[in-house]
Chain A
Amino acid sequence: MRVPFARAVTVACPAPMPNSAVSDAADAGFSLVELLVAMGITLSILGVAFTVVSGWQLAFGAENERADQQQRLRVAVNAISRDLALAGAGAHLGNSPGPLGLFVASVFPFRQGALTPDPPGTVRADTLTVLYVPPQTAAQTTLQQPLVARSGTAFVNLDAGCPSADSTCGFAAGMDVMVYDDTGAYDTFRVASVQPGALDLQHDMPDTPQSYAAGAQIAEAVSHTYSLKTDPLTDTFQLTHYDGVSSEAAVVDHAVGLTFEYFGDPLPPILLRPVTDPTGPWTTYGPRPPRRNVRSTAYAAGENCVFRIDPTTGLHMPRLAQLGNGSASLVKLTEAQLNDGPWCPDETNQHRYDADLLRIRRVSVTLRIEASLTAFRGPAGILFTRGGSSRSARQWVADQEIRFDISPKNLSVSRARL
């Protein structure tokens, strides 16, 4: 049996064939069996080809997704490690230079700032706030007059270290600043405007009656809060950054896990020299206690959040306990240790924080990032925090989890190097 359209092929030839036998063969066309075999072979080849290409496409898509995932991890690690590495950097110019750890804590397991700050005593495993004086700023000096912790005008001295011939000591409108003293108190502000020797400040924290005496430090400072934002309703899973004032933004999307762990100095702070000495540092860490007859906080005269006075000897003794097994190795600080007091500057202060935060020397960060497309995520479980739509393991892009430790240099530099 011949298929009818074979004739059409013959008709399409431009000239008649000279030999009738040859012409018959040429006109013969394909038999149905030939056609079926040919189609079968073609389909088989195409099937194999498409299977290979499809595999490549899946691999290509998954590889793209993995690259994106790695890049998001790098961005997140870079942002957190950069700010953590600088945590605790204090004034390096002027009359009382030194790391923040000699005055106040600079690493907090909670959110602080103008927008929805956490109440005192909060400890969140997925939230970290760090404070530091930026590396290249010259805006560092002392208060000329007392300042209450609310918006207002701060009069500043032009101490040594202020920029040459600058009546505002390098401060400028829009700059974020921090006021702190040796009671363990601190407040953050944004400079609204500057005049010679004076700064109009907008308070970035809830107002309190806290008053900073003349001579308290004022310096440009930044606050960085990193936290995990999870909202299944809007499918939002982000690592976010908050600047402590008004700006909050996502650092990376599809972050599904974030945990901060804190490791601290097991030894309590030690007094290095009499508090009456004119130059410090007076302690191994933490604020210097006041003189015995001076009461600077709600603690008794001569005491502060890290030192008390021994009633028997009359000497300053550490208020914090020794932790761990007696060795000098860092110990993991538990949630209970970070919210059970003693409180700095004291337990009546609305911005109080646990004095054990002054012990922090190392922060361990665990971050987990998922594939952004559900098509690359399999069922929820060990590999996937949130399940996806893929049922083929070949195109799975498992969650990536990274753990890294940062030991902020400025949290450990206060000890003398012998």
Chain B
Amino acid sequence: MRRSDGVVLVAVLLITLLMSALGAALVLVSSSEAAIAVNFRSSQEARDAAAAAAERAIVDLRAAADWNQLLDGAVRSPFVDGSPFGRRFLSDGSMVDLEAVVNLANCQKTTTCSDVEMDAKTSDRPWGPNNPRWRLFSYGWLRDALSAGAIDSAYYTIVLVGDDPSENDADPSRDGVPPSPGAGVVELRAQGFGPRGVRRTVNVTVARTGAREVRVISWRETS
């Protein structure tokens, strides 16, 4: 056996190693890029889902005769997908817990909020006893918002309603009365939920300007 026979094997191994390393790096870069693009798209889709849910909720607000019944939870939007509690599972297995979403909005924790916690003055809720007490208004899959097949989306939406804080009546379960600047004004907090924990929120301030007429005062993407 010649002593130089193994050189070819070594050379082939080195070249294979080099090409494998380059290939692996290329795949890594490509897959990272694809993952970033997917996350970017998911975030945009969640925002659009939240916006669509808010628009749908505004239509339902217009039809509601008494907004106090929305603020105390007696009346909800027709766009609901069952009981107002429990979990909804997204396509990747992640879940949305309705009660946790409401509690997070009211006192920034997932368990039940006490009155004291909801009236606490925080940077997000600096109005103390006039802090909005969010309640479920609508909740359901975005694809169910229109007739079957009209929307191709796996996103879940939740819209909360609360009294606007431009009142000093310390009663967030009832709308103010004129001349209070908050009379006939409510806040909507719409959220879109997608796979991999994607979540976007839109806050909308809506005023009633007539029996069947509303006006959007402010539209704010908050997260």
Contacts and interface: CB of A to CB of B under 8 A. Distances in A.
A183 B205 CA distance: 25
A416 B215 contact: yes
Interface string A156-168: 0001110111100
A74 B213 contact: no
Interface in B141-167: 164-167
A418 B166 contact: no
30 contacts: A49-B15, A53-B22, A57-B22, A59-B26, A63-B26, A63-B30, A64-B29, A67-B33, A70-B33, A89-B218, A92-B220, A94-B166, A97-B205, A97-B217, A97-B218, A98-B217, A99-B218, A136-B124, A136-B220, A138-B126, A161-B166, A164-B129, A164-B130, A170-B126, A409-B51, A410-B218, A413-B217, A413-B218, A416-B209, A417-B213
A71 B218 contact: no
Contacts of B89: none
A99 B168 CA distance: 23
Contacts of B213: 416-418
A161 B165 contact: yes
Interface string A56-88: 110110011011001100100010001001100
Given A53-B19, A416-B209, A138 B219 contact: no
B218 A138 contact: no
B182 A160 contact: yes
A85 B221 contact: yes
B177 interface: no
B37 interface: yes
Interface string A86-110: 1001111111011100000000000
Nearest to A136: B222
A414 interface: yes
Contacts of B185: 97
Nearest to B179: A278
A262 B205 CA distance: 27
The binding surface of chain A is classed by DSSP as loop
B181 interface: yes
A100 to B, nearest CB: 10
Given A52-B19, A56-B26, A74-B40, A164 B126 contact: yes
A92 B26 contact: no
B51 to A, nearest CB: 8
B36 interface: yes
- Contact-size category for B: 35 or more
A128 B205 CA distance: 27
A135 B36 contact: no
B18 interface: yes
Given A70-B33, A92-B205, A164 B214 contact: no
- Contact-size category for A: 35 or more
Nearest to A57: B22
Interface in A392-418: 409-410, 413-418
Contacts of B220: 86, 89, 92, 135-136
B103 interface: no
Contacts of A417: 58, 62, 213-216
B121 A164 contact: yes
Interface string B117-141: 0000100101111100000000000
Interface of A: 49, 52-53, 56-57, 59-60, 63-64, 66-67, 70-71, 74, 78, 82, 85-86, 89-95, 97-99, 133, 135-136, 138, 159-161, 163-166, 170, 281, 409-410, 413-418
B33 A99 contact: no
Contacts of B121: 163-165
Contacts of A86: 220-221
A281 B218 contact: no
A136 B207 CA distance: 18
Contacts of A52: 19
Nearest to B33: A67
Given A53-B15, A160-B168, A135 B221 contact: yes
A71 B166 CA distance: 42
A64 B213 CA distance: 54
B23 interface: yes
Interface string B29-54: 11011001100100000000001000
B196 interface: no
B25 interface: yes
B214 A416 contact: yes
B87 interface: no
A63 B2 CA distance: 44
B212 interface: yes
A123 to B, nearest CB: 27
Contacts of A418: 212-213
Contacts of B221: 82, 85-86, 135
B206 to A, nearest CB: 9
B180 interface: yes
A157 B127 CA distance: 16
A107 to B, nearest CB: 15
Contacts of B216: 409, 413, 417
Enumerate the 3 nearest inter-chain pairs by beta-carbon distance, A residue then B residue, closest first.
A163-B126, A164-B128, A135-B220
B155 to A, nearest CB: 18
B84 to A, nearest CB: 26
B18 to A, nearest CB: 6
Contacts of B191: none
B203 interface: yes
Given A49-B15, A86-B220, A163-B126, 13 more contacts: A56-B19, A60-B29, A63-B29, A63-B30, A89-B219, A90-B218, A97-B166, A97-B181, A97-B207, A160-B168, A163-B127, A413-B217, A417-B213
Contacts of B62: 417
